[in-house]
Structure 1
Amino acid sequence: MSDNGADSADRRGVGRRSVLASTAAATVFGLAGCTSLPGTGGNGNDTADVNESDIMGSGPLVEDRPKPGGTSMDDMPDLSGKLTLYLGGGEGGLYQRLIDYIDGRYPDLDILVKTDSSASLANTIIEENKGSGSRADLFLSIDAGSLGVVADSGATTALPQNVLTKVPEHYRGPKDSWVGIEGRARTIPYNTDKFSKSDIPDSIFALPDQQQFKNVMGWAPSYGAFQSFVTAMRVLDGEKKTKAWLKGMQKQGVTEYKDEFLVSNAVADGEIGAGFANHYYALRVQSQRPDAPIDLAFTKNDAGALVNVSGAEIIQGTDQKELAGNFALHLLSSEAQEFFATVTLGYPMISGVKPVGGLPPIEELQPPEIDLSKLSNVQPTLKLMREVGVL
């Protein structure tokens, strides 16, 4: 899953959870074949034969899964017409596979996909709306920050209620501007040969003060997910406390890595005892090494428990508002949510689909109360991180 990753539901749960199953995680699929248009991706509805297996993970973990709940695409409105979709990030191309699957289900549907980074497409939408109007009907982004930037510019229109009510309020944008389709949780991956779950504190701010974490932790400060985490800390707790935490971790002798998959691998290798990473990186490690001594701990009600989302929003001025809304609804179907769970290894947004790897359901997590749109304001975070020498 790419990065750059509560609610009205019950937030009961524990601050520390030992969650990973020892079975292999789901196989990650590659892209389906597609016919590209100039400046776009997508199949233009050229894929006639689609099967549900095209968007489902495989392997021991998936074979044991119950049938997903929720509403099937079979019970949703048919999709027809031309939809222009701006796809930001797309999880290294995996989202295109889901789009191709949906496109292939409906002979009267024609999806044109423009791909780029989420930030770049957000800026494109804003600039287009300042002129003659955006060419996009729907924006699909891998991070809530980009969705928030577009919404704050006035370039969105409200999503229909039948879409919004499927997702907990915490994972929806202000004024019904966007809706989460997949979640990614901040975690502390730890080596089970070095620590037990009771050793991991349920507060991120306890880590700089405990001697047991001296010279045994790792992070990836140049990575987008880590910067979103620090941004959340800055928004929630202020620059002074955030700066003190960064300095405290530096004094602990934290080891730097390029990305959070490397952090998680280092934990599994015993190179470090624990680290900071989004939840799915440990699952990816276990998909390659089922017996790796790695597990996940969750803090509670602080930036270390942040749950960011991929999401969708309808663009202001579209003449395909109903189609865009129904397509967003399809992204919250049982099939699509099972795709997000078993292929991208993310957190499903609907209660009828469970996450993989023994993860606690999203309603049991205890993320902080934060407007996820504010995670787009990363520049003060980068300035702060440079000031303390983290970057």
Structure 2
Amino acid sequence: MSSNQRKSFFDLSASGQKKRLKAAQDVPLPGSGSQSSSSRREEDVPDSPVPLSQPHPSSEDQALGHCPRSDELELCPSASSSDEYEIEDENNVEDSSEESSNDDDHDDDIGIREKLRNWASQYKITATALTALLHILTSHICFSSLPLDGRTLCRTPRNINTVEVEPGHYSHIGLKSTLIKLMSGVSHTINTVILHISTDGLPLFKSMPGELWPILGSIKNVCSLSKIVFPIGIYFGKKKPIDCCLFLKEFVEESIDVINNGITIEGRKFQVLIQGIICDTPARSYILGTKSHTGYSSCIRCKQEGIYDKGRMTFPSVNAPPRCHEDFLIQRDLDFQVSESLLVKIPGLDLVKNLPLDYMHAVCLGVVKKLLLTWTSGPVNKCKFPSRLVNQLYSFVLCHNLSAYCSILGFPNTI
């Protein structure tokens, strides 16, 4: 063999084959352009030179000392690169599955919180009881992400915006926001939302002074919402608000806005109408700025001076001239209207026709109570029923379901 004749690749020793491969890697292939040697090393030259199918070199190749080109050899990919690809794929699968699992856990967490909030609201669970339940649930690993306090779960605000209304404070909850929340998702075909408004004072404690005056509302022309009473504003103080205008200011301002501009719910615009303000007689005279029901010129329906008879104020005339809404606007009768009322600014509200008489006090606790007392304890031989008839009526009331005759709940007292 001549000195310039090159040995075949397969005739070289192991160290010679490594040197030949290294030299071949440093020589650029035709058409490789600006491809770097590192990329050629990764693509064309495997880490292991063991071929899967190794073609035998021809005699011509042996004579010239040429080794087969790297693209003519089907080499087995290296174990290290294969493992690297497999590990990378496994990591990708694990990452994607972990992200999917985290999303599912987050959705489940939101769902269980919403269910607990609805359950606590529906069954009137106290904050103390809800907190105790959360402490039990969070002791299990499945519910470890739940909060420990019921106020956190129900998103109870820490601070409440209040304004000072002597001699207490008033917090306005909102009319428009409550209407949007109640009517969202409710099927209805109405174009106008008809509201009934109510307010009254009630004591909260027996051992200390304090009055609560809520402004409440209800939607009357949506069947599924007609029995829901929602708060609009709440006042609390040692006594009722001294200035009624300050008490009603925010309610009246928001009422004017929603009546003039309407409300938009789920892309649909609705008109708003306050059909009536329902109060008992003392509360009605308070918000209207009129004389109390014990005054001589206190009748809200007609213009007549009352007569004080047997410890009560009476209005015997049935032909007295009626009052009208315009009388409130110009304060025509100063004996009747003693102070200004902001309710006159609410559009479409008639302060005579849209403030009905209180049925509970006027009829149930007024006329009906007086009739029952007259029939059972009145003068003998005039109006009083015989004892036998009274006992029969009492037995009838006890033996029959009162809900079939009226909507009054509770068991009646003895007659």
Question: TM-score with structure 1 length normalisation?
Answer: 0.24
Higher relative contact order (CA 8 A, sep 6+): 1
Question: TM-score with structure 2 length normalisation?
Answer: 0.23
Larger Rg: 1 or 2?
2
